């Protein structure tokens, strides 16, 4: 099974050219190092509509992993989960619960502040990750432990 992925950075600052996309690049690097072919790395503005439109475009007709970085906190423009919920057909709450638990085990415990969503659209597995590079890569590590199995199931495989 070929592992393919797409990365979506959600940030007004990055989209406007006033902020560096460190977390998006870090996700691309980690995915590549883990054997995924990253075929798209896109940036969009914050906001429910912008996120929903970008995710719909990325997911439709795609069989693979889509991760977002940014917009999962309490800031007024942090609306990535709302946009994601518009797009996913079936939520996968266990994924983000595991990511939050792992983050809370760290020294700062900010995982409990994440409003991230994960779910599926067609044969795409979508997961929101934090906007910080370290948080995004840490969350991706948890996700990658189950992503190949989930993608195989979405493709119609019956490995169990």
Per-residue pLDDT tens over the stretch 76-99: 999 999 999 999 999 999 999 999
Q: What is the DSSP string of 66-84?
A: EEEES--SSSTT--HHHHH
pLDDT in tens, 106-153: 556 677 889 999 999 999 999 999 999 999 999 999 999 999 999 999
Q: Is the pTM of this model over 0.85?
A: yes
Q: Which domains does the chain have, with CATH numbers?
A: 4-154 (3.40.980.10)
In sign, the C-alpha dihedral spanning 78, 12, 91, 103 is negative
**What's the rounded Cα separation, in Å, for the pair 146 and 50?**
28
What is the 3 state secondary structure string of 6-40?
EEEEECHHHHCCCCCCHHHHHHHHHHHHCCCEEEE
Mean of the pLDDT values across residues 46-71? 98
């Amino acid at each position: 099974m070929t592992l393919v992925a797409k990365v979506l950075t959600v940030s007004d600052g990055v989209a406007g050219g006033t902020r560096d996309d460190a977390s998006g690049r870090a996700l691309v690097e980690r995915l590549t190092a883990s054997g995924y072919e990253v075929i798209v790395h896109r940036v969009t503005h914050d906001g429910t509509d912008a996120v929903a439109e970008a995710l719909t475009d990325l997911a439709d007709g795609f069989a693979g992993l889509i991760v977002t970085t940014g917009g999962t906190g309490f800031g007024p423009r942090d609306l990535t989960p709302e946009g994601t919920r518009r797009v996913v057909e079936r939520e996968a709450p266990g994924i983000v619960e595991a990511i939050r638990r792992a983050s809370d085990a760290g020294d700062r415990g900010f995982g409990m502040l994440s409003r991230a969503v994960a779910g599926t659209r067609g044969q795409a597995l979508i997961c929101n990750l934090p906007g910080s590079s370290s948080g995004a890569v840490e969350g991706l590590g948890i996700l990658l432990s189950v992503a190949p199995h989930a993608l195989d199931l979405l493709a119609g495989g019956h490995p169990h």
